[in-house]
Structure 1
């Protein structure tokens, strides 16, 4: 029997207490990885790790603020101590804030916080993890980006941060590749997560803009992350993988408008 794809792997995930991060932690653990579930909310991380253990997987949890270099370095050290190695880093933690009605009314502190967590957070985590990923001989970093990093869907700071993260993915891939570490990014479209709680009608309307006729689920992104983190993607680095139901490739709204006007 073929061993699980991540048998003997150790993975660290940020922002993994719920949503995409939690689904990805469950997926990696289900395929054999020992996972360190981290989140700003310690209780949320603990619940996710407990559910993984109840399902037969190996998981620990830890509170981590990716805005703090000290916290990030302590978290990476914890993973290596707990599991004896580190093979996979998934940078999923992010921050966001609503745009002001007028751009000139945007707030410096909100802008800075969104960029710090969403872009500088992965920078801090990757910097701390990289030596251990090199040592593993099969290290992989998977960043969670967004379609917002490629096209206008609103969110000035969030979109700028996700675009910057795609750029960091490429430059870090160039640096880390000769050291045996791959770096890639998954760019999700609209995903049914807690961020959309209470907005079912908005999600229903959004579904009609997707060529595949639905919004995404966290498990859709987890599957893509698992692929990019695994040996199945051994010759892939520096790439952005859109997991967006065709949103960026097909202008469904325009096509519908043309049909309705015919």
Structure 2
């Protein structure tokens, strides 16, 4: 019950990683403001949590929506301690040479500026309660996995986090990042063959589950991580270690414990 008496706000919480994070924090005692644009699915997540959930339709590209969400959290629960920036996505599908300025603006506004909006709105409460922010970035922000615009926005989240951590650390507010690899979310529902292929890239032999990310978020948002700030925690099954060809299957004869 690391979050008993605390209040968290999770963006893009209707499914996938956001829903798993909301459930994990609630399971550990938090009251949770769950926000998304998908109101029907959001209601299902909130219903599963119960009276300690507040579902809100929020568009993180709207400052009015974000400000209203923080105000509603404080009005309903009396405080705000944790913000989990999960909203984002790869919205640019064109080749890099065909990407327009509007494409870039849309990608950055959703993924990078949207996260900053949430931080700005919550800062007075976070300072008051010595709270913290966990932003869900990606391994795309750490290495070259394609999707240039998305990757740049995710790398921007990491740089933003480091700077927020340096600026507000003396006020007791912490800022950290979780950088997932491939996670089994509804975005992949119609691509099981792709997930099977991608799993072979990972030294641990599988892609990630939303609960893998939720566990990392819960750690960084809790007092167990009280002396950790400005940190990026990759949760990625080892994909950043290098090509899986360097990790061949080991025979039982050569390695008797395997």
TM-score normalized by the length of structure 1: 0.92
* Equivalent residue, structure 1, for 2:73: 79
Residue aligning to 1:259: none
Q: 205, 209, 222: which is aligned to 2:214?
A: 222
Partner of 2:127: 134
1:240-259 → structure 2 map (5 Å cutoff): 240-253=232-245
Equivalent in the alignment of 1:204: 196
- CA RMSD, Structure 1 to Structure 2 (Å): 1.2
- Alpha-carbon distance, 1:60 to partner: 1.1
What residue in structure 2 maps to residue 51 of structure 1?
48
Q: Which residue of 1 is the match for residue 177 of structure 2?
A: 185
Q: Which runs of 5+ in 2 are unaligned?
A: 249-258
- Report the Cα distance in structure 2 between the residues aligned to 1:228 and 1:179, rounded to whole angstroms: 18
- 1:89 maps onto 2:86 in alignment: no
Q: Check if 1:100 corresponds to 2:97.
A: no
Q: Which residue of 1 aligns with 2:256?
A: none
Measure the CA separation in 1 of the matches of 2:102 and 2:123.
30
Distance apart, 1:255 and its partner CA: 5.0
Q: Which residue, 118, 135, 153 being the options, matches 1:125?
A: 118
Deviations 1:50-105 (A, max 9, x none): 1111xxx611100000001111101100011111000000000003225424x221
Check if 1:64 corresponds to 2:58: yes
1:111 aligned to which of 104, 114, 136 = 104
Contact 2:92 2:150 in 1 (8 A): no
- What is the deviation of 1:167? 0.2
Q: CA deviation at 1:43?
A: 2.0
Is the Cα contact below 8 Å between 1:95 and 1:113 reproduced in 2? no
Task: Tell me the TM-score normalized by structure 2.
Answer: 0.93
Of 34-43 and 221-230, more deviation after overlay is shown by 34-43
C-alpha distance in 2 between matches for 1:195 and 1:149? 19
Mapped pair 1:17 → 2:11: no
Rounded Cα–Cα distance in structure 1 between residues aligned with 2:247 and 2:45: 41
Distance in 2, matches of 1:98 and 1:152, equals 16
Structure 1 residue ranges without an equivalent (≥5): 257-262
**How far apart, CA to CA, are the structure 1 residues paired with 2:107 and 2:76?**
31
